[in-house]
Structure 1
Amino acid sequence: MSWALSIDRSDITQASLVEESSRDLQAGEARLAVRRFALTANNITYAAFGEAMGYWRFFPGADGRGRLPVWGFAEVTESRAEGLAVGERVYGYLPAGSELIITPGKIRPDSFIDAAEHRAGLAAVYNRYERCPAGPGDNPAREAAQMVLQPLFLTSFLIDAHLRDTDFSGATRIVLTSASSKTALALAFLLKRGRPEGVSIEGLTSARNTGFVKDSGLYDAVIAYDDIERMDPAPARLIVDFAGSADVNRALHTRFADSLKANIRVGGAHWEQSAPARDLPGPRPTFFFAPDDARKRIAEWGPEGFAQRQGEAWSQFAAAADALLAWRSLDGPQEALSAYQALVGGEVAASEALVVEVSAR
């Protein structure tokens, strides 16, 4: 029997562990045993927008409830797919559970996709799996950073490129909500690299996280949400919204009004308040969907150019982030469920990076 985290699609606070029967493979399929995966606020965004953005469609459950998408490592334990051998280790988009059956396609030396029929119309960036090199280069310490930070970093990398291409929409102050989130920290790191003169970065966060955000050294100013009304409304600002809170958006739009140049919505860290605010002063918030932008960048830069630019930036951030975070290892399904519930409840410290060990390597 395998297990999975099962989530009520209409109320993501309702989650439980379920046992699932393994079925026999059909020709062209392979079985992945999930070995380890990360849990972050990004996964709560997947759950909060599961219906609207199609995240629940990746891993349909027999009970009709949601299967939480996570990023992690798995091992091929059975294969009826030519070109994919038992014992291979892969990295990619997985369900929070112990097993995934895939239909490998476009198999290359470094990667393949899941060509299962139900994933055909879904974002390609989530369907690609990396084939991991075996031997001394297989470093579990590096894997933790890859699982926890790399998926988030890609989004930040794409937003950074977008902001620079659009000359920050004419803004001189970039406001990042949920500034303690790992995606916001990555964007702040990227924005500080070679930023134009006169552009500053402001981090908005909860009062309890202001110390951590200040200590990161990535922001020019750190403001608690309760202090929005004290912010100088005059400078031209652009918001990158990782919080997704209707109340925070209304406060910011009301405070800045005509001096607000754009509001780019990325995530839903404040998922319980994520219904869009209506009739806001200033520009209408626009949603940034990373997979669509990734396709645009790959077409513009070419696959090799994209990989090189993203890889260089990622290496720099991964080295810097190691000192920012407290890495915590969780063992098995019950601790995974407890961690999910803590993330939904906002009870995980911003400094913590959680990795679930599903089974022995």
Structure 2
Amino acid sequence: MKNWAMEIEKAAIPVAGLVDVPPRELTDGEARLGIDVFALTANNITYAAFGDAMRYWDFFPAAGEGKGRLPVWGFAEVSESRCPDLPVGERIYGYFPAASELIVSPAKVSRAGFVDASDHRAHLPPAYNRYVRCSGDASYDREMEAEQMVLQPLYLTGWLLARYLREEKAVGASRVYLTSASSKTAIGMASCLRDSPVAGVKICALTSAGSRDFVDGLNLYDEVHLYSDIDRMPASRPSVMVDFAGDASVNRDFHTRFADQLKANIRVGGAHWEQSAPARNLPGPKPDFFFAPDHLEKAREALGSGGFMAAYGEDWMAFARSARAWLQFREFSGANACLEIYNGLISGDAMARDGLTIRV
């Protein structure tokens, strides 16, 4: 299959398949990006689970009725260009479909990158429309592309969450509980709070029995608890839940246990997608979705572009360099491997310590 895309049933995300994409000629100003390699993580399942609610399906329209193309993070090369400022051969990092190519309309082209100004993306969050030219990225290291694809988008969300909790003084809580504590976004957040903690606040893991040893071995959490133990956890201290799992039954158990001591439920993801329908009539505060692109724009505005890159960039590089101590990168090739790994992520078969990438 020379030119392909993976398409997913929006109403039933376990149903996915590969489709041939007919080639089309470029118009003036467009560029064709041949996608080289991309990551697949539980975060991509969150994109699918919230595809309609958070407009993730809108970035890369599918050909099939009722279908969507899965967003991923990865690298591509400019294979054809009718944009004079973006030559063939440039290596690009950014937000792509799980597919073999993407046609973009580059605007605001600079040495550092460009924005895809395609009409259908104009109303979408700008953070996802920015593309990085690797030749203009001082932090780019080809030997660390796996870390960048697999971890950087997740770490950025964790970094923004940690910044938010520090600014809000953990909403008055003395315990912050992270569900799906083995997930890469949770690990990034916990790492940030270990290195720059909120005074007097402990960071606590909630995880499954199968992931407990892995989570313990990270040495990032002050306490590690199992989902099955929620009804026996100490509940006398003001607490915050940061929810990467999105599991309705876990939410109900946690809200019931902590009730008025729960100061906030910050919902981030839907790793437990099959049980992610919001629980209703919960005791305590209503879950509030944390949309990272909005917080990214606020951080850029508060710190300035240079200040943001200095603050975030130093933290990210330290985290990336430490990743191979706990993460095993595994690369697979081709469209069929993409579909197989997506199905494995949907089934919950991926190991927490795996960093999975697809070479197109």
TM-score, normalized by length of structure 1?
0.97
Report the equivalent of 1:315: 317
Spell out, residue by residue over 1:278-311, the C-alpha distance to the aligned partner (whole angstroms, 9 max, x if none).
1111111111101111111111111111111110
Counterpart CA distance in 2 for 1:59 and 1:136 is 29
Report the equivalent of 1:57: 58
Spell out, residue by residue over 1:167-218, the C-alpha distance to the aligned partner (whole angstroms, 9 max, x if none).
1011111100000000000001011113144311110011111111111111
Report the equivalent of 1:217: 219
Q: Which amino acid aligns with 2:8?
A: I
Q: Which amino acid aligns with 1:102?
A: V
Q: Which amino acid aligns with 2:57?
A: W
Instruction: Give the CA deviation at 1:96.
Output: 0.4
Spell out, residue by residue over 1:55-106, the C-alpha distance to the aligned partner (whole angstroms, 9 max, x if none).
0010012223210000000000000012000011100000001010000000
* 1:236 aligns to 2:270 (yes or no): no
User: The residue matched to 1:133 in structure 2 has which SS?
Assistant: helix
Spell out, residue by residue over 1:7-29, the C-alpha distance to the aligned partner (whole angstroms, 9 max, x if none).
10100000011111110001110
User: The residue matched to 1:33 in structure 2 has which SS?
Assistant: strand
Counterpart CA distance in 2 for 1:288 and 1:137 is 27
Instruction: Give the CA deviation at 1:146.
Output: 0.3
Number of residue pairs the alignment of both structures matches: 358
After TM superposition, list the pairs within 5 Å mapping 1:1-361 onto structure 2. Answer: 1-64=2-65, 65-133=67-135, 139-358=141-360
Counterpart CA distance in 2 for 1:224 and 1:331 is 36
Name which of structure 1's ranges 39-48 and 186-195 shifts more when overlaid on structure 2.
186-195
User: The residue matched to 1:38 in structure 2 has which SS?
Assistant: strand
Q: Which amino acid aligns with 1:158?
A: L
Q: 1:134 to 1:316 in 2, by over 3 A?
A: closer
Identity rate, percent: 53
Q: Which amino acid aligns with 1:77?
A: S
User: The residue matched to 2:220 in structure 1 has which SS?
Assistant: coil
Q: 1:56 to 1:252 in 2, by over 3 A?
A: same
User: The residue matched to 2:320 in structure 1 has which SS?
Assistant: helix
Instruction: Give the CA deviation at 1:136.
Output: 12
TM-score, normalized by length of structure 2?
0.97
Counterpart CA distance in 2 for 1:259 and 1:5 is 44
Q: 1:259 to 1:110 in 2, by over 3 A?
A: same
Unaligned 5+ runs, structure 2? none
Instruction: Give the CA deviation at 1:138.
Output: 6.5
Aligned CA-pair RMSD: 1.5
Spell out, residue by residue over 1:298-357, the C-alpha distance to the aligned partner (whole angstroms, 9 max, x if none).
111111111111101101111222211011111111111100000011000011000111
User: The residue matched to 1:218 in structure 2 has which SS?
Assistant: coil
